[in-house]
Structure 1
Amino acid sequence: MTTHPLAPLWPPHGVTISCGPISLESVKDEHLPELDALIRAGIHPAGQMPFVVPWTTGTPDEVSRRFMQYHWSIRGSMTPTAWTFETVIRIDGTIVGCQGLSTKNFPETRTGETGSWIGQEFQGRGLGTLARQSMCAFAFDHLGATRITSTSFADNPASLTVSRKIGYHDAGSMDRLTDSGRMTVQQFLTLDPPGFVRPLEPVVVRGSEAIRSMLEIV
């Protein structure tokens, strides 16, 4: 894989994570049109909201602008004390969604939270599971994480199934009134290295040393 020209200046752009047919790399401006097309085609049924932050609400243009602003903002605010590493998910070269890892005070907490989405036409194929496994392997094996968390609504069985399939266990729940006025249960989950169910194929990571240095992870 060709190294991105900004990688020497911006180490996240030099990270690649691959496992079998799946590969992850940091979201770049050139990926935004393809990601936007996936979002406009649909990533969850109309009338449902699987995300704790309801970022898919609004007109298509509003969602597109909000999506781009989000990715620009997380790059600009990435520091050792708080960062989000968002990647595109590729299957045999085709972008199918995003997989992220977010944290605060990682050098002390060694804890990150996963989050992801996949275009509807690519759902149900196990891609979300493999992308999450790949990101967790990166976090545990290359960043030195000791715990990974996830949050999901109790009425989002697809997300909960992925979490439990790879070893997350329940860490409590709370009733929540969503931004749309819907009452639901927010489920918290956590994963540690001994409980992690790894993918059948090896996870290969490139560029981790530079991002560790940038984020002051020792």
Structure 2
Amino acid sequence: MRTLTDLFPPFGLHVVAGPLELRGLTDELIAELCHAAEAGIHDPDAMPFYFPWTAVPADQLARNTAAYHWSKRATFAPEDFCLDLAVLLDGRVIGCQGVAAQHFPVTRTGETGSWLGREFQGRGIGTQMRRAMCALLFDHLGFEEITSAAFLDNPASLAVSRKVGYRPTTVSRIKRREGELALNQGLVLTPDDFVRGDLAIEVTGAEAVRAFIGLDS
């Protein structure tokens, strides 16, 4: 009989980077991720996300977060996927790190995105989890380029990108919240520019995911 990991290989993905782990989002981890989101991600007056998904009443945030990840799981395909992983510190879910890609077998590129609970911000964890994700993508999942972006009023995210080696591209003018203009800095990372740091990365479960995203069939 097939297991759930056979049916959805990202469940079996596991990245270890010192005390940090990145794991495929099972339902149990989604529940813990929702709890982390409810504990707070950013100041209520700020909005670091393109889509203001955190700007909802507290009783809706967990349901919306779970529904989003369930929907991305249901539509996952090599031509259009979001690979989102739970970030754990000493076994506790503290945030989410992911990548979104379209037509991946041809383009070999995707855009990283992440969030981290406020309690854990400002401690270098954001840089470590991004480095772990980029090592996974470049070394194990066939990516040849990784993009990202952050609003110009989000210096913490831009600082993480600089430390990891992303280079700035273009600045876009976009609507963030109703009636609000935001300037969004594009970023790009190549294997040659990737600043890995000195943290050893251990990966399991990547081979099945490679096949799932259209490689090594």
TM-score bracket for this pair, using the shorter chain length: over 0.9
- The equivalent residue for 2:124 is 126
Residue 120 of structure 1 aligns with an amino acid whose one-letter code is: R
Letter in 2 for 1:67: T
Give the whole-Å Cα distance in 2 for the aligned partners of 1:39 and 1:12.
21
Distance 2:118 2:66 in 1: 20
Q: 2:114 aligns with which of 100, 112, 116?
A: 116
- What does 1:2-151 correspond to in 2, within 5 Å? 6-151=4-149
CA displacement at 1:207 relative to structure 2? 0.8
| Cα distance in 2 for residues equivalent to 1:58 and 1:111 | 32
CA 1:177/1:213 → structure 2, altered by over 3 Å: closer, same or farther?
closer
Alignment of 1:141-180 (within 5 A): 141-180=139-178
CA RMSD of aligned residues (A): 1.1
Report how many aligned residue pairs link the two structures.
214
Deviations 1:66-117 (A, max 9, x none): 1111000000000111111111101111111000011001110010110000
Unaligned 5+ segments in structure 2 are none
2:31 touches 2:66 (CA, 8 Å); kept in 1? no
Q: How far off its partner does 1:160 sit? A: 0.4
- Unaligned runs of 5+ residues in structure 1 are none
Q: Which amino acid aligns with 2:10?
A: P
Give distance in 1, aligned partners of 2:214 and 2:141. 10
Q: Which runs of 4+ in 1 moved over 3 A?
A: none
* Alpha-carbon distance in structure 2 between the residues aligned to 1:34 and 1:143: 26
Helix, strand or coil for the counterpart of 1:195?
A: coil
Per-residue displacement from partner, 1:154-192 (whole Å, max 9, x unpaired)? 100111000011100101112223233222211100000
Under a length normalisation based on structure 1, what TM-score does the superposition of the two structures give?
0.94
**SS of the counterpart of 1:83?**
strand
TM-score (norm 2): 0.95
3-state SS of the aligned residue for 2:111? strand
- The match for 1:192 is 190
- Alignment partner of 1:7: what SS? helix
Comparing 32-41 with 94-103, greater Cα deviation is found at: 32-41
| Identity in percent | 44
**Aligned partners of 2:63, 2:90: CA distance in 1, in Å?**
28
Is 1:208 matched with 2:217?
Answer: no
Q: Residue 184 of structure 1: SS of its match in structure 2?
A: strand
Q: Residues 14 and 21 of structure 2 are in contact (CA less than 8 Å); yes or no, is this contact kept in structure 1? A: yes
Counterpart AA for 2:197? P
